[in-house]
Structures are given as structure tokens and as C-alpha cells.
Structure 1
């Protein structure tokens, strides 16, 4: 049987604009799913809007010092995020993959939410019946995708970083939007555990995780969804 393949989409945005604070993609939200995927021999290809180096949220690195999976990923897999292809290069190529996956971090709130190539690629994966997946703030990449005028997440159970979690880390006022609000506005059924609880939602083609704590459970659900 041919190896399963997942297209991972990282942010190219490196700061929380309102605070001029460094951000990017969140280390454990890529590290843990990657660990589980590669254990099952799933091949991973990484893209970003601008290509080249996708910015790692340095705060997520500092916060992962006691996470051996995240630290091993950081030490051994830098080529994955330092040499990304552009999203545009992969439009029209959904047939090559079993799923598309958006890790979080605050970066996606600024670029992936409205990136035309990303939106077109998600639409393509969705129309092809592929798995569409995201963790935490990565879920924002799904909220503006429509097929035949309807939001693709309408009526679906979806999770992501919650309003309460954004309040807890005191970044609500700095955000251009909130994941939970945008999912609900798009007609999604936003589901959640408590603040930094472990929550994964699987509904049809969609696999979403609430937050960094959910990254491991999300990885297992994604592997199951693609049959790896």
C-alpha cells in the first residue's frame, strides 16, 4: 500500500501586530502530530504563504523545555520549517495527499485566515473528499472557506482556541478576531473542553483540536481519519 501523505500549512506571519510581539506557529502543535504521523510512516510536506522559513513562535519553544517530543522535533526537524514551499505551488495537487493540516500559533490569525491560495487549497481538499484538519489557532484557516456559497464548516462540530483561553493568556484585545467567534459566525458547532482541556472534534472530513494540550490526541485522530 502506498504511504499516506499529509500537507502541513504553516504561517508566514511573525508578530502580533498590535503588540509588535514575536509570534508564528506553535511548536508542540506541529511536533506532536508529526511524531505520531511519522510513527505510522506518513509522509509530511510543509508549505507556507511566502515559502522559505516559517517563523516559529519563540514563546512556544521556551514553554516546551520539559516536552521531550517537542524538543526532539525542534532539534532534529528544522529543515521542515526552514525550507517550506509556497502554498501556491501545491494548488491543484490535492490528489497527491490524504489530508491537509494547519498547526496553530497566533500567526495564522493574520495570514492564513484570508490567504487566497490557502482558502483555494482547503476548498480543493474538501471537494476531493480529503481530510481537513487543524489545531488551536490553525482552525482560523477554515472559517472563510466556502463551497457553492456555503461555509464548509457549517453544521459541523469544530474546535479550536477558545475565547476563554484567549482571555486567560490576556491576548483577546490584541487579536484581529477570535477563533471561536469566527467558527460560530460561519455556522460551525463550536465544541470545547474547559480552559486548556484536551478536546478533539471529528465530524465528517474535519478533524480539529482545541489547543496545545490537544495536539497528541489530535495526531492520533488524524492518523485514524486517514487510515494510516
Structure 2
């Protein structure tokens, strides 16, 4: 059977601007879904707004040093994020894939949230009936997408990094806005579990996970949705 194909979109933004702190995408939020998907004959293509090296949040390396899946991914798969393809090259190519997936990290809050090429790709995938998925801060990439002139997230159950979680990591004041607030502002139905608890929400072909703890189950839900 032919492999299923997932397009993974990573941030190109490497810092939290307000505090000039290194950031990027968050290791377990790509590592765990990749671990699930690669074990189910799923091909992964990785893109970013700028192409080339997509910055990995160094804090996520330190915080997951006891997590064998993240450590193994870090040590064995650098080519995935060090040689990303430019996002804009994939316009009009939703037919080549079964799903699009946005890992989090604070980087997407600064670039993917309003990246026109990314937004157009999300709309293209969704309108084609393909799976649109994100975890943690990756959900912010979806808030400006529209379908038939209305926000894609309007009326949809959605999760992502919560206001309480941003408070817990003491970065609320450094953010330009908050994921939970932006989802609610466009009419999404933001749902959540306990701080840093595991929560994955499936609403049609839209799949979102709350935080890093949710990454493995997000991968499983994505695999199921595409029949992998």
C-alpha cells in the first residue's frame, strides 16, 4: 500500500522578541508525532517560511533530555529541520498530501500566525478535505485562516497552549497575544484540560493538541484520520 503523506510546517522565527530569548519550534511536539507516523509508513515533508534551518528551541532540548523519543529524534533526524523547503513552493500542492501539521514552540506566535503563504496552504488543505492539525502554540497558525469568508475555526472545537499554561511558564507578558484568546476571538470553541494535561480534540478534519504532553496522542489521532 502506498504510504500516506504529511506536510509538516515549522517556524523560522528563532526568538521571543520582547525578551530577546532564543526560541523556535518545540522538540517533543515534532518528535512524538514523527515517532508515531514514521512507524505507520507515513512520509514526512518538512517546510518553513524561510526554508533551510528551522530553529529548534534550545530550552526544549534541555527539558526533554530524559525523554528517549525526543533524544532519539534529536540525534538521528537533524536533516528534517536543517534542510526544510520553502513553504511557498507548496502552494497548490495539497493533492500531494493527506494532512498538514503544525508543531508548536513560541516561534509560530511571531511568524506563522500571519504568514500569507501558510494561511493560504491551510485554507487549501481544509477546502480539499485534507486533515489540518496542530499542537500547542502551533494552533496559532490556524486563527487567521478562512473558509467561505468566515474564520476556519469559527464554531469548531479547538485546543492549544492555554492562558494558564502560558502563565505557568511565565511568558504571558512576553507574548504578542495568547493562543486561547485568539481562538476565542475568531469564534472557536476553545477546550482544555488541566494545566499541562493531555488533551486532543478532533472536530471533523481539524485535529488539535493542547501542549507537549498531547503530542503522542495527537500523532495517533492524525494517523487514524488519514488511515495510516
TM-score range, shorter chain: over 0.9
User: What's the counterpart of residue 159 of structure 1?
Assistant: 159
Tell me which residue corresponds to 1:31.
31
How far is the alpha carbon of 1:153 from its aligned partner? 1.0
CA distance in 2, matches of 1:176, 1:98: 32
| Superposition map of 1:1-228 within 5 A | 1-228=1-228
Q: Distance in 2 between matches of 1:100 and 1:207?
A: 10
**Which consecutive segments of 4 or more residues in structure 1 shift more than 3 A?**
none
For residues 30 and 185 of structure 1, the distance between their equivalents in structure 2, rounded to whole angstroms, comes to 27
Task: Kindly tell me the number of residue pairs found equivalent between the two proteins.
Answer: 228
Distance 2:65 2:211 in 1: 18
Shift, 1:72, TM fit: 0.2
Structure 1 portions without partners, runs of 5+: none
Deviations 1:80-116 (A, max 9, x none): 0000001100010000000000000000000000000
Distance 2:177 2:98 in 1: 30
Matches of 1:60 and 1:39 in 2, distance apart? 23
